[in-house]
Chains A and B, each alone.
Chain A
Amino acid sequence: KQEVTQIPAALSVPEGENLVLNCSFTDSAIYNLQWFRQDPGKGLTSLLLIQSSQREQTSGRLNASLDKSSGRSTLYIAASQPGDSATYLCAVRWGGSEKLVFGKGMKLTVNP
Chain B
Amino acid sequence: GAVVSQHPSRVICKSGTSVKIECRSLDFQATTMFWYRQFPKQSLMLMATSNEGSKATYEQGVEKDKFLINHASLTLSTLTVTSAHPEDSSFYICSAVLRDNEQFFGPGTRLTVL
Contacts and interface: CB of A to CB of B under 8 A. Distances in A.
Interface of A: 31-32, 34, 36, 41-46, 49, 51, 89, 91, 93, 98-100, 102-105
Q: Kindly state the interface size class of chain B when it binds its partner.
A: 20 to 34
B101 A98 contact: yes
A34 B104 CA distance: 10
B104 to A, nearest CB: 6
B79 interface: no
Contacts of B62: none
B108 A42 contact: yes
B93 A98 contact: no
A68 B100 CA distance: 18
A99 B49 contact: yes
A41 B43 contact: no
Contacts of A104: 42-43
Contact of A43 (B32, B101, B105): B105
A46 B1 contact: yes
B1 A43 contact: no
B69 to A, nearest CB: 15
A42 B107 contact: yes
B106 A43 contact: yes
B102 interface: yes
